[in-house]
């Protein structure tokens, strides 16, 4: 929400100009965040420029003016009106310096970046040679940034995964097969954990499990065999994070088919997890964080990410957001494993 304690600074904000860009993978709710940034900036009589195609826009000097008329109708749209991209060139000092020169030439007073850990690493690098304030807003479906309970786009991605798994279960039951559903989260299991609980998956595999390849495969097989005896059915849904340490979806499916004797089909959801209309929870979070990003700049904050922890707005240094490891919800993690263990206990009785 707006911090009206800063209304006294309104006069000095007149003629100020900030820029914003969306970087990395797109996330549902980015447009809601852009809308909020523009509205909050207008509240302080600050104009807003939007750089297109992520950091490539800074390098190529591609920008548009973000007026209220241009952004107001985008709150319900997925993707990002500014477009997004990854930028390998931004790893080279010469291109970072070029981006800083473009910002200076346009008299930009501050920069807001909506993105994930890679985007914030780039913003930290830029801040070392561009001496104006920078603020990050967490926009990534992976939900893996330290300093916020949830990131923009995460809840919509989980809803998309749950909807897909509900449909997959229909055909799994009909054909008595095992389906291995591959979800995003290469280094974190936030989507896999919440989606597997929400859709009642029989098993879930994610990087935080800490089991060896042999242990994990043995646990999967033991659980499936126990569930088959208990339920007298041969169809199961298992959730797997992309590029899991024990193998990709096809490799794990082949191993299970060979060892269990039931056909196991991989189903890779891929980029449908990024798309779609943002859910209400993501729209509200994006609106709140966008407004708070502008408030933070007005109050003199720099090199920080705005986040929400236990319904309170918090500021975290950019470096902490990607250097500190965000942990899975311990209680949710325990509940999931209790549910899995219950199947084995019931069968042993």
Catalytic residues: 142
Please tell me what DSSP assigns to residue 257.
H
Asked if residues 180 and 170 have their Cβ atoms less than 8 Å apart, the reply is no
Asked if residues 191 and 184 have their Cβ atoms less than 8 Å apart, the reply is yes
Please tell me what DSSP assigns to residue 89.
G
In angstroms, the Cα distances linking 347 to 14, 23, 235, 307, 343 are 70, 49, 17, 44, 6
Instruction: Give dist(CA 321, CA 317) in Å, integer.
Output: 7
Q: Enter the tokens of residue 127.
A: 């801040």
- Find tokens 């709150």 and name the residue: 75
Chain CA centroid to CA 269, Å: 16
In angstroms, the Cα distances linking 39 to 2, 46, 118, 287 are 10, 10, 27, 10
Instruction: Give dist(CA 138, CA 112) in Å, integer.
Output: 11
């Amino acid at each position: 929400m707006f911090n009206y304690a800063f209304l006294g600074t309104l006069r000095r904000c007149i003629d100020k100009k900030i820029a914003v860009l969306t970087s990395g993978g797109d996330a549902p709710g980015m447009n809601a965040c852009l809308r909020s940034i523009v509205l909050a900036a207008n509240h302080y009589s600050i104009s807003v420029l939007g750089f297109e195609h992520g950091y490539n826009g800074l390098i190529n000097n591609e920008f548009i003016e973000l007026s209220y008329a241009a952004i107001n109708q985008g709150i319900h749209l997925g993707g990002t009106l500014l477009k997004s991209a990854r930028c390998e060139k931004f790893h080279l000092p010469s291109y970072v310096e070029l981006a800083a020169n473009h910002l200076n030439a346009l008299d930009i007073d501050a920069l807001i970046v909506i993105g994930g850990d890679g985007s914030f690493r780039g913003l930290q690098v830029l801040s070392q040679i561009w001496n104006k304030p920078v603020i990050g807003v967490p926009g990534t479906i992976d939900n893996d940034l330290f300093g916020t309970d949830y990131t923009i786009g995460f809840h919509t991605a989980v809803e998309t995964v749950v909807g897909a798994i509900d449909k997959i279960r229909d055909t799994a039951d009909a054909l008595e097969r095992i389906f291995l559903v591959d979800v995003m989260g290469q280094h974190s299991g936030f989507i896999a954990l919440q989606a597997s609980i929400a859709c009642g998956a029989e098993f879930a595999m994610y990087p935080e499990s800490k089991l060896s390849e042999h242990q994990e495969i043995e646990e999967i097989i033991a659980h499936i065999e126990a569930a088959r005896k208990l339920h007298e059915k041969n169809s199961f849904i298992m959730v797997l994070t992309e590029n899991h340490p024990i193998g990709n979806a096809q490799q794990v499916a082949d191993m299970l088919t060979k060892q269990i004797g039931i056909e196991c089909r991989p189903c890779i959801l891929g980029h449908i997890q990024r798309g779609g209309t943002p859910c209400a929870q993501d729209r509200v979070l994006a609106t709140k964080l966008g407004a708070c990003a502008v408030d933070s700049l007005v109050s003199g904050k720099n090199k920080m990410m705005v986040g929400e922890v236990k319904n309170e707005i918090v500021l975290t240094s950019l470096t902490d957001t990607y250097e500190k490891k965000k942990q899975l919800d311990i209680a949710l993690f325990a509940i999931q494993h209790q549910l899995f263990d219950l199947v084995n206990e019931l069968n042993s009785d």
